[in-house]
Chain A
Amino acid sequence: MKIFSKMSKGIATLLVALFTFMSVQAPVMAAMVTTEQLAYEQHTETQRDALRDFFSRDDVAAQLAERGVDVNAAQDRVGSLTAAEVAALHQQIDDLPAGEGLGVVIGIIVIFMLLDIAGVTDIFPGI
């Protein structure tokens, strides 16, 4: 598959980042919801909103459509991402130089969706 041949260093980095995040992010059980937890959640939701805005962009929608991904499906997916996933994807988008590399990020997102569907990974539990 052409899409898999495009797996690049960026994807490897993202995977490492994701798994690192997931391994350290297990919340400490406490009876109180702490201020740090509230701040982390708020931060995640702010980033999630930024991802939603990203998927609302015309150029992004076009790229997704080119790869056969429905924009509404992508938007739904954003809603079900965990904090670690949101952070990892947001980082990718944040690092985008203006007007460059969009295809790579979209490629990463699509590959993750495909791998999840194929049962290779379980990064997007909503699928």
Chain B
Amino acid sequence: MQFCSFRLLKSVLAVLLTGALAGCVGAPQSAALLASWDVQALPLHSPILLDNVPFFAQDEYQCGPAALATVLVADGVEVTPEELVDQVYVPARQGSLQIEMLAAPRRMGRLSYPLLPELQQVLDEVASGRPVLVMQNLGLERFPQWHYAVVVGYDLDRGELTLRSGLIRDYRVSMRVFERTWSRAGRWAFVAVTPGEIPVSANEQSYFQAVTAFQGAASAVDSQAAYAAGLARWPQSLELAMGQANLVYDSGDPQRTRDLYLDIVARHPQSAAAHNNLAQMLLETGDLDLAEEHARRAVALGGTFSDVYAETLQAIRQEAADR
């Protein structure tokens, strides 16, 4: 797996691309975006350029740490590419794995949010002031040249994106060319945000997934901030509400957890998992009658975690019998 280094490839590609590739690979998202822009059907401002986003010229192969430092420093983290090399650079691959790229920001108190594979989301994030870290395959399917870069601007009139890429601070590339290289890397893109902030293109499910991944590496305070922001945006989210309550439980406060679950069960009476967790809290706080009622409700509703519900009910009955 070759990462980042352009030299060898450029000469090979110059020959290959001109003949074989021209015209045979489409860029449907760019085409659609630019067409909508031409008829003024896009609610986007253009051009946008996030000129304050820093630039770290990459050492050979180390586009991963450089791109990561770019988005992290832009979001106020004090870090250098060199400090990130140990975290994300895999010498044997001469590059960085995507999973490591997502994990590193979490360890520095930033929530990694993967975007949907849509160019529109990349533009929306940039328009909101957030640089977007993208993966590209600058080569071909069979001769991949993996590369990480950061999108910092776009100009729809010119059909261009501006990237922090390799040794070029403001690399202006045609949207169509970018889309092809991006598509060959699975249209992978993410933003790193301060806990408590929500990316403009975020959806409820992906945000919850991002927060649970964040939680494993983050402080309780940061995790709580991420849940609170999510619930402010999606007040009806069962998963976010339960995640928040479970976090309170982990902090060793069953009373407050019980109160949170009472509220959750009132809002989501069909959630077996919520009934179960409320029953457990009631058991721990000594209200066995009410605990049994909710445990039975969980068992009756059933579902994926029905084994857990059965166990909760049994534990409550055991406790009642022991009294």
Among listed B78-86, B132-140, B192-200, B242-250, interface-contacting one: B242-250
- Inter-subunit contact A32/B239 (CB<8 Å): no
The tally of CB-CB contacts under 8 A between chains A and B is 57
- Inter-subunit contact B242/A35 (CB<8 Å): yes
In Å, the complex CA distance between A33 and B304 comes to: 10
In Å, the complex CA distance between A35 and B264 comes to: 14
Query: What is the interface size of chain A, counting residues whose CB is below 8 A from a CB of the partner?
Result: 18
In Å, the complex CA distance between A41 and B271 comes to: 13
Question: Counting CB contacts under 8 A, is A31 at the interface?
Answer: yes
- Inter-subunit contact A37/B305 (CB<8 Å): yes
Query: What is the interface size of chain B, counting residues whose CB is below 8 A from a CB of the partner?
Result: 24
In the complex, chain B residues whose CB is within 8 Å of the CB of A35? 212, 215, 242-243, 246-247
In Å, the complex CA distance between A97 and B141 comes to: 10
Question: Counting CB contacts under 8 A, is A39 at the interface?
Answer: yes
Identify which of residues 248-291 in chain B touch chain A, using a CB-to-CB cut-off of 8 Å. 249, 273, 276-277, 280, 283
- How far does the Cβ of B120 sit from chain A's closest Cβ, in whole Å? 20
Residue of A nearest to B249 (CB): A32
Among listed B16-24, B159-167, B170-178, B307-315, interface-contacting one: B307-315
Residue of A nearest to B215 (CB): A35
In Å, the complex CA distance between A97 and B311 comes to: 45
- How far does the Cβ of A39 sit from chain B's closest Cβ, in whole Å? 4
- How far does the Cβ of A33 sit from chain B's closest Cβ, in whole Å? 4
Question: Counting CB contacts under 8 A, is B209 at the interface?
Answer: yes
Other-chain residue from A27, A32, A41, A43 in contact with B307 (beta carbon distance below 8 A): A27
Supposing A31-B315, A33-B277 touch, asked if A41 and B209 sit within 8 A by C-beta, the answer is no
Supposing A42-B205, A43-B209 touch, asked if A31 and B308 sit within 8 A by C-beta, the answer is yes
- How far does the Cβ of B94 sit from chain A's closest Cβ, in whole Å? 24
Question: Counting CB contacts under 8 A, is B113 at the interface?
Answer: no
Residue of A nearest to B273 (CB): A33
In the complex, chain B residues whose CB is within 8 Å of the CB of A24? none
In Å, the complex CA distance between A35 and B216 comes to: 11
Residue of B nearest to A36 (CB): B212
Question: Counting CB contacts under 8 A, is A118 at the interface?
Answer: no
Supposing A33-B273, A33-B277, A46-B205 touch, asked if A39 and B311 sit within 8 A by C-beta, the answer is no
- Inter-subunit contact B208/A31 (CB<8 Å): no
- How far does the Cβ of A67 sit from chain B's closest Cβ, in whole Å? 29
- Inter-subunit contact A33/B276 (CB<8 Å): yes
In the complex, chain B residues whose CB is within 8 Å of the CB of A120? none
Other-chain residue from B212, B215, B246, B304 in contact with A32 (beta carbon distance below 8 A): B246
- Inter-subunit contact B308/A33 (CB<8 Å): yes
Residue of A nearest to B257 (CB): A32
In Å, the complex CA distance between A43 and B276 comes to: 21
- How far does the Cβ of A116 sit from chain B's closest Cβ, in whole Å? 21
Residue of B nearest to A41 (CB): B304
In Å, the complex CA distance between A41 and B209 comes to: 11
Additional 12 contacts, C-beta under 8 A, given A27-B305, A41-B305: A29-B307, A30-B308, A32-B246, A32-B249, A32-B276, A32-B280, A32-B308, A33-B273, A33-B276, A33-B308, A35-B212, A37-B304
Shortest Cβ-Cβ A-B pairs, 6 listed: A33-B273, A39-B212, A35-B243, A31-B280, A31-B312, A35-B246
Between A and B, 9 residue pairs with Cβ closer than 8 Å are: A31-B311, A33-B308, A35-B246, A36-B212, A37-B304, A38-B273, A39-B212, A39-B243, A42-B205
Interface of A toward B, CB cutoff 8 Å: 27, 29-39, 41-43, 46, 83, 97
